[in-house]
Structure 1
Amino acid sequence: MRYSAGHKQETRERLLQSSAGQAKNEGFSTVGVDALMKAIGLSGGAFYSHFASKDELFGSIVERELKQSLERLGGHGQHDQEKLQRCLQQYLSMAHLQQPAAGCAIPALGAEISRGGVEVRQQSENLICRLHQAWAQTLGSESLAWSILSQCVGALVVARMLVSPDIQQQILASSHEQILKQLQ
């Protein structure tokens, strides 16, 4: 049976979405091609009609997820400090901590991106720099934008490493409080 070009694109998108969720929840390197395809109801052999390699899939996931993070975090256009503060509150929340598949790709995939190939790392750099520039424009300081971006990601990574929700909440709340002090 022959499928339409639209069907192939839909299948590719389902694979990207499913694989991104698995990667952000479990780590990309821990999941094999067969498991990625099984999650969308297809055999492992069908994978290669969509991607030449697992590395190519990872690059596509990183691009897709970082673009979505950029949109959510305000990297498309200027916004005011009030909007940035609402964004920071959502970012440093228990909901974001508990749902990595639905959240920012940077803390979820950052370690794997750092071990990735030059193309994936360059692509990540380009997108993160766009976010930085948007925040720098809002904050009036490139240094402050890098500092806050790093603090947000770091707080989320550390909080996800821990088991106790009380300590996780303390980390997120403390980080948010300190960032707000920097914004004054």
Structure 2
Amino acid sequence: MRYDKGHKEQTRQRIVEAASERFRADGIDAVGVVSLMGDVGLTQGGFYNHFPSKEDLVRECVASGTAAATQRMADGVAASRGEGYRALVNSYLSADHRDNPASGCVAASLSSELARRPEETRVVFTEGVDGMVELIASTLPDSVRGKRRRLLATAVLSSMVGTLSLSRAVADAGMSDELLTVGRQSALALIEAG
């Protein structure tokens, strides 16, 4: 059987998209190659036509996932007409983001798991986190200058990721909402104190 030009790359992209969602929703270790390939209508053997190992897929998912999260944040900032940092914080720490981990930020969904992955995977994640920090830094008020800009952006990202992770983990819906509310207030106060 002959496939159209670009078929292999399209199939690879389908695998990455399905894996990215499954990893963020279920966790990396909970997703097996067999079930993942079943999700995209392929066999386990077909997986190895695209990736040498599951860890190579994990790295690609982390790279594409952090890039997508950064782009979503940038799009929100661009559409905000004003204080971009406010739109970024409010969107990131929203009930919608909390309730949809499969399409959300890799850092909030997978950072605890990524801490135990091979160094090559953590390097890819580090690069993605650096991009998020740089984006946040670009939205800060002009009064925040020099090294303080990056330090503040790092603190804001850390606060947002931690808040979102906790809001997903607690069993009490009211507490989850409260965590998001207080997290938004705290991140914005941190920025505005500059």
| AA partner of residue 132 (structure 2) | L
1:3 deviation in Å? 2.3
Q: Identical aligned pairs, as a percentage?
A: 30
Q: Is the 8 A contact 2:67 2:128 kept in 1?
A: yes
Aligned to 2:177: 169
User: Which runs of 5 or more structure 2 residues have no equivalent in the other structure?
Assistant: none
Aligned to 1:151: 159
**TM-score, normalization: structure 2?**
0.87
1:131 deviation in Å? 2.1
Report the RMSD for the aligned CA atoms in angstroms. 2.0
Find out whether 1:107 has 2:108 as its counterpart: yes
| AA partner of residue 36 (structure 1) | L
State which drifts further: 16-25 or 105-114.
105-114
Runs of 4+ in 1 over 4 A off after TM superposition: 77-81
| AA partner of residue 6 (structure 1) | G
* CA deviation map 1:136-176 (0-9, x unaligned): 24322222111110000000111111122211000000010
State which drifts further: 30-39 or 117-126.
117-126
**Count of aligned pairs between the two proteins:** 183
Q: Is the 8 A contact 2:156 2:191 kept in 1?
A: no
SS of 2:30's equivalent in the other structure is: coil
Matches within 5 A, 1:109-128: 109-128=110-129
- The 3 A distance-change label for structure 1 pair 165 and 80 is same
SS of 1:28's equivalent in the other structure is: coil
* CA deviation map 1:88-131 (0-9, x unaligned): 10110111001011111111111222111111111211221122
1:81 deviation in Å? 6.7
| AA partner of residue 35 (structure 1) | S
Q: 1:66, 1:53 → 2: CA distance?
A: 20
Q: Is the 8 A contact 2:163 2:183 kept in 1?
A: yes
